[in-house]
Amino acid sequence: MKSKILVYLTIAFLLLWSMPVQAFAQDSVQEALPEPGITPQSILYFLNVLIEEIRLFFGLK
């Protein structure tokens, strides 16, 4: 009797363990992304590049 219960419990455990689990993606990706800052399309982009080059030259970054 105990061996039958053990077999049934083992089968039930294996069936439950082998069931696929669904994962859902985020609804909105833009909420999780940071602001891009100054992009190459901006009029002031050259200032961003200039400041970056000066920081790299003096080792400030």
Contact 48, 56 (CB under 8 A): no
Q: How confident is the model at residue 46 (pLDDT cuts 50, 70, 90)?
A: very high
Going through 1-61 in order, the beta strands assigned E by DSSP cover none
Summary mean pLDDT of the chain: 80
* Rounded-to-integer distance, Cα 21 and Cα 59, Å: 49
Give the tokens for residue 55.
């920081």
- All structural domains of the chain with their residue ranges: 1-58
pTM summary value: 0.41
Q: Which residue has the higher pLDDT, 21 or 54?
A: 54
Contact 39, 45 (CB under 8 A): yes
Amino acid at 38: I
Q: What is the pLDDT of residue 12?
A: 80
